[in-house]
Structure formats: structure tokens, C-alpha cells
């Protein structure tokens, strides 16, 4: 497998992104998180449009909803990373048990105690060496199915098997939803 060497600027972006992730998930520090960002950042969790635009809105979002909104068993499994000139794209598997309110991902949904595993794509934009914007994508239907709010037998959605297929393409059957629809 060929991998190209990162430039010093790309290495710096990766280091900043790693510090940002550690500040969010290990330190749970709003100040350390914000120190990795520009003075006018944006965060957009695309499926539910949570986040903020501008330093005070992003700080409020992180401090009020995001940093305290991760269950204790939250785990992020890296899958792939692409590093460009001014952005990083990470593919991850986000795993947790829904034991607390998670307004950033599941606004208004009380804890269900259900286990969730969902593939996530994060697009991180950099400006002047700091994080200027984050766009985070995941399959909200899969999350809702895994916590019991969508019926996977009646709707064309999947649950944790989608994450398993990302990690190992041969582990889960392809076209299962098409074949099930054709049998109905």
C-alpha cells in the first residue's frame, strides 16, 4: 500500500486535530477545545444541525451540550484519514451506550440504555493552523433504529451492522434490504 509523506503543514494540522479530539473526549475541557480553533469557528452536526457559528456560540455548544453529552463508555474507532492542503477528513466508528441525554446527537430523546455503533465522517477545515470549521455526518436513521425509535423490519434502514460492514466489508451481507423488499 502506498502512502505519501505528509508535509510539515499537514503534520501540524494532524497534531492540532489530535489535540482537539483529546480535549473533547479525554480532557473534556472547553478551554483546551477552543484553544485549537480559530477566533470565528463553526461546528455543524449535519443530520441534526447542532453546533454553532462563531466563538461564543461554539463555546456554548461545546460546554452545554457536547462535552457533557457523551456516555462514559463512548469510544471512537478510527477507520481512515485523508489529509489535504487545508482539511482533514476522518472516517470513524462512534460507539456508546445511550445512558445519558445526548442533545448534540439525539435532542429531546431520553436515555434508552441501548448500544449504538454508527459510522461517522468528520470534515475538518483549517485556517492559519487552527480548526476553522467542522462538519460531522452520520446516518441518523441508523442511530434511531438502534435506540428503538425506527422499525428496521418496516423501513429500509440498518443498525450496527452498517458499522461492522465499514470495518470488514465481507462481514455483513450486501443488498439485504433490496432482497427483503423484493420478498414483500
Strand runs (DSSP E) across 18-145, as ranges? 37-45, 50-53, 75-83, 87-97, 115-127, 130-138
On whether residue 91 sits in a domain, the answer given is yes
1-5, 122-126, 133-137: which range is least confident on average? 1-5
Domain count, the chain: 1
- CATH of residue 46: 3.10.450.50
Does the pLDDT value for residue 160 go beyond 50?
A: yes
Each residue's pLDDT tens digit, 18-74: 999 999 999 999 999 999 999 999 999 999 999 999 999 999 999 999 999 999 999
Contact predicate 181/175, CB 8 Å? no
Q: Which domain holds residue 27?
A: 8-178
Does the pLDDT value for residue 1 go beyond 50?
A: no
Task: Give the torsion through C-alpha atoms of 144, 150, 156, 157, to 10 deg.
Answer: 20
Amino acid at each position: 500500500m502506498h502512502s505519501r509523506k505528509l508535509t510539515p503543514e499537514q503534520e501540524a494540522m494532524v497534531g492540532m486535530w489530535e489535540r482537539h479530539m483529546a480535549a473533547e473526549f479525554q480532557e473534556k475541557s472547553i478551554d483546551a477545545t477552543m484553544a485549537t480553533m480559530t477566533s470565528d469557528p463553526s461546528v455543524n452536526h449535519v443530520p441534526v444541525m447542532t453546533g454553532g457559528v462563531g466563538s461564543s456560540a461554539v463555546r456554548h455548544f461545546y460546554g452545554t451540550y457536547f462535552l457533557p453529552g457523551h456516555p462514559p463508555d463512548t469510544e471512537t474507532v478510527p477507520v481512515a484519514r485523508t489529509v489535504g492542503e487545508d482539511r482533514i477528513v476522518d472516517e470513524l466508528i462512534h460507539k456508546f451506550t445511550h445512558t445519558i441525554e445526548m442533545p448534540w446527537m439525539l435532542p429531546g430523546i431520553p436515555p434508552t440504555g441501548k448500544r449504538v455503533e454508527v459510522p461517522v465522517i468528520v470534515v475538518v477545515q483549517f485556517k492559519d493552523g487552527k480548526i476553522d470549521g467542522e462538519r460531522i455526518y452520520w446516518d441518523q436513521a441508523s442511530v434511531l433504529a438502534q435506540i428503538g425509535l425506527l422499525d428496521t423490519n418496516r423501513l429500509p434502514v440498518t443498525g450496527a451492522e452498517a458499522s461492522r460492514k465499514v470495518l470488514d466489508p465481507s462481514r455483513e451481507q450486501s443488498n439485504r434490504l433490496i432482497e427483503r423488499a423484493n420478498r414483500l
